[in-house]
Structure 1
Amino acid sequence: MRYPKNTWIAYVFLTPVLVVMAVLVFYPLIKGISYSFTNMNQYNMGSKFIDPSYEWVGLKNYKELFRSFIAPKSVFRDVLIQTLIWTFVNVFFHFTIGLGLALLLHRKIKGRGIYRTLLMVPWAVPSFVGAFAWLWMYNDKYGFFNLMLKQMGLATIPWLGDSFWAMVSVIMVNVWIGVPFMIVTLLGGLQSIPDSLYEAARIDGASSWQQFRHITLPLLRPVAVTATTLGIIWTFNMFNIIYLVTAGGPIHSTEILVTYAYREAFRNWNLGLASTYGVVILSFLLVFTLIYRRVLKSNQEVNY
């Protein structure tokens, strides 16, 4: 096959993007992976006055990580389990609440445009602003939630002082921030489904549930899978909400892998081990993405 002679123009336009990605993505990624095979810390990392003196230690960091995972009392294992719980619960509520609200907004109701605008506010507000607003509402004495509980004659809740309620608190914040994205995505998918399919189903006597099960869900699946995949990746790496609301506390009860890696890097200054955590996070996401794509492909082959 002969290509047009002016294909070089495409490479000219792609070059700036490739250069930016190489500088901002690929180079830091390669450096981070290489640091995971070293004993880099605050004492041997070097500076503009002192040359670096860290050494290549091979798989030592990975072996240490594995030993800490199988230890009887392993903080790393607890953090990994909390990361999986955090990701599953958040994405579950993102999808279910987002789908429910998208179905409501897809109907012809009065003031639909106003409702859509209001539901986009959590997404439009910067995440750190939303985190600080929720942090104020979680205040033990003067927070909105505990004041309302007192007004109703109920006991107050130690939102950020108890391990269970601290995890509930950060999940509530992240669900509030993440639902609008799911609404917008699923609403776009709903609007792409032809109305003629529903009209034909109603003529055949299909109930609302049957229409939802046999028309809406199958045709919405490609959009839902993409949105869910992105949601899992973003939630798995959601650093700012946990760091700003609970900072991983109390006693690591809301710590996830990405905040734990940050703590190891910039509080304990064990940069080699922190890079190892980064490689583990990347490996989890790559494995999940590959499995998810294979499942999606198999489902599409069955449907067709």
Structure 2
Amino acid sequence: MATSTGRVTGTARDRAAGADDGARGRGGPRKAGPFRRATSQYWYAWAMVAPVIVVTAVLIGWPLVRGVYLSLTDATEATMGRTIGVNVIPSTYEFVGFGNYVDILTSGVFWEKLAWTVIWTVACVALHYGIGLGLAMMLNRRLRFRSFYRLLLILPWAIPGFVAAFIWRYLYNSDFGVINAMLRAAGLGGVGWLDDPTTAKIAVIAVNVWVGVPFMMVALLGGLQSIPAELYEAAEVDGATPMQRFRHITIPGLRTVSSTVVLLGTIWTFNMFPLIFLITGGGPGSATEILVTYAYREAFTGIRNYSGSAAWGVIILLLLVVMALVYRRALRRQGEVW
């Protein structure tokens, strides 16, 4: 009897479940999707993030879309719409497709500027990381006046970029600069730091290293302090030399931090417009001009070529995106999560 009752009850339950499923299939209440659940459960977070999304879309998204569109036209100062007094002159530029990109990539100027930009970026980032790591390891030790040294070494990062550029431009002055004054005091001749292509390149690299080392130092110092001291103690007990401890403990322990700061440093240095523009103006001639300064010059000097400048900007963006993707893939192959 119990078995029969159980079967009847089970059958009734199955029929009820089937009827409920049928009702849902015919337009009954459905289970909310993941996006709807997230918005209903975390509506406050979405409300807080919404203004940031809107501002970012307005300040970054719209100029980016506009720039990509202009890069596909022949817009120049002569063909752009403008208002002179009460007269409104309409735009006369036309869509030309990828013509600007073809002109840029087939010109020797692009490859010349790209080569110097790569040299500039690699040299600066390598010096940033090497000097920053050395200073971080020094400050990670017990040292008298360590707080004072930290404050002193972080000052270049705290100084605004344009202020640093003007200070160094004065230091490099051929006639009144402090550097040449020190050389003359030592019995050596003055150097025209910003007058020769080679010395001008060395000069801007030195300034960028001076500005960028504090960031690397602070980031790597934080990474060093996160490595357990017990690892170094155990390695020292086992007889590991300082170089072996550095190679097998410090470098692997800093791998995650290093991958992040190297990527950020590469992007920032690749686009380091203020220092080069304010110190050398891209000169002498165009010896120190990198891709971003050339793009600026296309848009704001001479006959302003807005479409060409926009195409340069899009190419720079694509180069950085490709570099970041390749870098990310290389990290994944090494087992890093990024």
Q: 1:291 aligned to 2:326?
A: yes
What's the offset of the Cα at 1:6? Answer: 2.7
| Alpha-carbon shift at residue 10 of structure 1 (Å) | 2.1
Q: 1:146 aligns with which of 180, 188, 199?
A: 180
- Give identity over the alignment, percent: 50
Q: Deviations over 1:249-280 (max 9, x none)?
A: 01110000000000001003001011010011
Q: Which residue of 2 aligns with 1:180?
A: 214
SS of equivalent residue, structure 1 residue 153:
coil
* TM alignment of 1:248-287, pairs within 5 A: 248-268=282-302, 269-287=304-322
2:92 to 53, 61, 72: 53
Query: Is 1:237 the equivalent of 2:276?
Result: no
* 8 Å Cα contact 1:79/1:252 also seen in 2: no
Corresponding position of 1:217:
251
Superposed, 1:6-85 pairs within 5 Å as: 6-48=41-83, 49-68=88-107, 74-85=108-119
Q: Distance in 2 between matches of 1:146 and 1:176?
A: 19
State how far apart, in whole Å, the 2-side matches of 1:59 and 1:14 are. 37
Residue 142 (structure 1) shift? 1.2
Q: Retained in 2: the 8 A contact 1:242–1:255?
A: yes
More moved, 226-235 vs 53-62: 53-62
Secondary structure in structure 2 of the residue aligned to 1:100: helix
Q: Report deviation, 1:59.
A: 1.0
Looking at structure 2, the residues matched to 149 and 9 of structure 1 have their Cα atoms a distance apart, in angstroms, of: 63
Structure 2: distance between partners of 1:77 and 1:209: 40
- How far apart, in 2, do the equivalents of 1:172 and 1:218 lie? 29
Letter in 2 for 1:50: I
In 2: Cα distance, 1:25 partner to 1:230 partner: 19
**Which residue identity lines up with residue 279 of structure 1 in the other structure?**
V
Shift of 1:38: 0.4
| Rounded Cα–Cα distance in structure 1 between residues aligned with 2:113 and 2:102 | 18
The amino acid that maps onto 1:61 is N
Q: How many Å separate the matches in 2 of 1:75 and 1:164?
A: 18
How far does residue 151 in structure 1 lie from its aligned partner after superposition? 1.3
Larger Rg: 1 or 2? Answer: 2
1:97 matched residue in structure 2 = 131
How many Å separate the matches in 1 of 2:208 and 2:81? 38
Is residue 227 from structure 1 mapped to residue 261 from structure 2 by the alignment?
yes
Instruction: Output the amino acid matched with 1:190.
Output: L
TM-score, reference length from structure 2: 0.86
- Residue identity matched to 2:42: T
Q: For 1:156-167, list aligned pairs within 5 A.
A: 156-167=190-201
What's the RMSD between the two structures over aligned residues? 1.4
Map of 1:71 onto structure 2: none
The structure whose RCO (Cα within 8 Å, separation 6+) is larger is 1
The Cα of 1:207 is off from its aligned counterpart by 1.1
Q: Which moved more, 1:175-184 or 1:292-301?
A: 292-301
Q: Give the TM-score, by structure 1 length.
A: 0.95
Structure 2 residue identity aligned to 1:59? F
Deviations 1:95-129 (A, max 9, x none): 00000000000000111000000001100011111
> Using the alignment, how far apart are the partners of 1:167 and 1:66 within structure 2?
24
Cα separation, 1, equivalents of 2:231 and 2:71: 54
Q: Distance in 2 between matches of 1:16 and 1:141?
A: 52
Q: Secondary structure at the match of 1:120?
A: helix
Q: Give the distance between the partners of 1:8 and 1:105, measured in 2 at CA.
A: 45
Moved more, 74-83 or 92-101: 74-83
Code of the aligned partner of 2:170? W
2:12 aligned residue: none
